Chain A
Amino acid sequence: MKKLVTISLFIFWAAVTAILTAGLIQYQNTKTRAPQALSNQTVDPLISALDQTLVLDAMEISRHNSAKDCWLLIDNKVYDVTASIASHPGGAQMIISFCGREASEAFNTKGGGGESHSQKARTMLADYYLGDLGGKIER
């Protein structure tokens, strides 16, 4: 049993170290491309980058318009569905075409197919809820 714990701990720390290091490198790459964004901050960049208030207005939503960063506006609520794109039963492309946009009608008619999404799909969507249109969130 001790062997099991040793192996698990080894894999855990190896994976966590790898992901955090790769994340830091990626972060520094994006930072060198846009240095002005953080010029006057001295705290840990990874954390300070998260420490901003965002207003969920149309402008902000429209920035998240790609498969790698995809927000949807459905019935005046904002959802970050990026993580769910790959597993969308109706196909990834269906969602991607609505990233950064108002998608209430598409959601309620399954992309014009007529039927609305199931209750199950709605509860799954709730997982990705960010806030209401016009509201503020911490990032």
Chain B
Amino acid sequence: MKIFWQKNSGGIIILVLSLLPALEWLRLAPLNTRFYNLSATMTSLGQVAGLVGLALFSVNLVLTGRLKIFDRLFFGLNNAYNYHRQIGAIGFSLLLFHPLLLAVAYLQISTLAAARFLLPFYDAAITYGIISLLMMILFLGLTFYGSLKYHHWKITHKLMLVAFIFGLLHVLSITSDVSRDPFLKTYLIALGLLGLGVGAYRAVLSYFWHRNFSYKIQRLNRLSAGITEIELAPIGRALDFLSGQFVFVRFFSRHIQSESHPFSISSAPSPSQISLAIKSLGDFTDRVKDLEPGDTVSLEGPFGKFSYRNGRHKKQIWIAGGIGITPFLSMARSLTDDRYQIDLYYCVRQPGEAVFLPELENIAQKNSALHLIPWYSQTSGYLTGQAVEEKSAGLRDKDIFICGPDNLMSALKAQLRDQGVAASDIYSEEFKFL
């Protein structure tokens, strides 16, 4: 039960924050006047869609904040981003239906009245709403359907703040339950300003005002299979982390865009050095191999709950798919407690891709806590929950950590659940979240 709250408290808070305006709205007028007939019902649903949509939009801006507390509330900051994506889609859809449902009442007067309602410049408050919605359609259209380069995408996504400001103006200027009820008004303003503040901090202010760690590149190990391991040394204070955690990394180099990306730390905690193992998977990561010793790096973090030290059991199963090995590298490199009993599955297509295998074999030889199982999908097929259960002699009372490509994680999680493993015993890290 405790682990349920640990993993879901953030989601529950979001639910309460976004449904509170709807509950207050319900209280404001008797239900039979809200749902008197078709047109009143549609108007009511339209109002609720608007209220909840705006609350979700506010919450979603707060979720962009990369705040330390999100690690606790969402059991890892990466899960806060998962919520961000889902809430964004739900909130946006609600806001699209908001004017449509309200238009039904106008349709009962005349189609001309409904058309007039949907057009701007008739009423200032409605015009703000229309501007806001059109901006959202444009910017989120690019997010969902555009194939923009990351830094272009990021600019369009930041412009959502402008859409949000127009949305707030719309809510504050229109005559509605919000203008009549002081609680609803205060609540929406407070939540909106909180969202605006955090969103503006993340979009603009964090460039100037932050507590990031400065590091310098010491060495680059260009391993095979497009993987580069970068060794960094602190310039000032060193970052203190738990093995398995990740950081947001910004490189300052003439070879690479100075944009912030999340990467798992691959080294064991140490005051003098941090390593990142990065695989070339796109525009940005392609250029990581061109970095040079001496380039400076800014690290923000650490974040994440994906660490064997957060598990409940000493018997654990670690499953790594490809470059998903990085958090496990850090954990294996720091594993000193021999009370642990760990099976590490290192899944790659063929032996040549398991670039960290020699080092891991070395660790496993010296440390009886770690048992290494290389898995080659080319000869053995994809790893299945069944295979894990057989090789590890059962799944009971074990924590299972999974990090790898999306399809590997979702397939394995589903299989393990079918085999009776509780969701609370499965830890996964989606490292492709931005």
Please name the residue on chain A nearest to B174 by beta carbon.
A127
**Segment of A18-26, A53-61, A94-102 engaged in the interface with chain B:** A18-26
Give the residue name and chain of the B residue nearest to A18 (CB). B111
Q: Nearest Cβ in chain A — how far from B120, in angstroms? A: 9
Q: Is the CB of B137 within 8 A of A22?
A: no
Q: How far is the CA of A52 from the CA of B93 in the complex (A)?
A: 35
Partner of A120, one of B29, B108, B112: B29
With a cutoff of 8 Å between Cβ atoms, the chain B residues found around residue A2 in the complex are 89, 144
Q: Taking chain B's interface residues, is the majority helix, strand, or loop, or is none over half, making it mixed?
A: helix
Contact A83/B137 with A15-B100, A23-B112 known, Cβ cut-off 8 Å: no
Sorted from nearest, which 4 A-B pairs have the closest CB atoms?
A23-B115, A8-B93, A1-B89, A87-B40
Check A86–B40 contact: CB distance below 8 A: yes
Task: Answer yes or no: B33 CB below 8 A from chain A CBs.
Answer: yes
Could you say which residues of chain B place their CB within 8 Å of the CB of A25? 111
A117 within 8 A of B: no
The chain A residues found within 8 Å of chain B, CB to CB, are 1-2, 4-9, 11-12, 15-16, 19-20, 22-27, 30, 46-47, 50, 68-69, 82-83, 86-87, 89, 120, 123-124, 126-127, 129
The answer to whether B40 and A5 have CB atoms under 8 Å apart is no
Q: Which A residues are in CB contact (< 8 Å) with B175?
A: 126-127, 129
Cα separation A8 to B88 with both chains bound (whole Å): 13
Partner of B121, one of A11, A50, A68: A50
The 8 listed contacts between A and B (C-beta, < 8 Å) are: A1-B86, A5-B93, A8-B92, A19-B107, A22-B115, A27-B115, A68-B109, A126-B175
Contact of A23 among B93, B114, B140 (CB under 8 A): B114
Are A83 and B109 in contact (CB-based, < 8 A)?
Answer: yes
* A46 close to B115 (CB less than 8 A): yes
Q: Is B63 an interface position by the 8 A CB rule?
A: no
Taking a contact as CB atoms under 8 Å apart, the answer to whether A22 and B111 are in contact is: yes
Contacts of A11 in B (CB 8 A): 96-97, 100
CB distance from B103 to the nearest CB of A (A): 6
A77–chain B nearest beta-carbon distance, Å: 14
B207 at the interface (CB under 8 A from A): no
Q: Which of A6, A26, A46 contacts B110 (CB 8 A)?
A: A26
Assess whether B115 is in contact with A24, with CB atoms less than 8 Å apart.
yes
Whether B33 pairs with A20 at a CB distance below 8 angstroms is: no
Per-residue A-contact encoding for B104-130, CB less than 8 Å = 1, 0 else: 011111111111101101100000000
**B window 334-349: CB within 8 A of A:** none
Q: Say yes or no: B36 contacts A9, CB within 8 Å.
A: no
Chain B positions within 8 Å of A30 at CB level: 112
Please give the distance in Å from B57's CB to the nearest CB on chain A: 14
Contact B111 A26 (CB under 8 A): yes
| Minimum CB–CB distance for A135 against chain B, Å | 17
Q: Contact at A15–B93, with CB atoms within 8 Å?
A: no
Least CB distance from A104 to B in Å reads: 21
Q: What's the least CB distance linking A8 to chain B, in Å? A: 4
Contacts of A68 in B (CB 8 A): 109-110
CB neighbours (8 Å) of B100 from chain A are 11-12, 15-16
Contact A86 B39 (CB under 8 A): yes
Q: Which of A8, A22, A50 contacts B96 (CB 8 A)?
A: A8
- CB pair B111–A5 under 8 Å, yes or no, is no
B37 interfacial contact with A, CB 8 Å: yes
Query: 1/0 contact trace for B197-233 toward A, CB 8 Å?
Result: 0000000000000000000000000000000000000
Whether a CB of chain A sits under 8 angstroms from the CB of B90 is yes
A12 touches B121 (CB 8 A): no
Asked if B85 and A47 make an inter-chain contact with CB atoms under 8 angstroms apart, the answer reads no
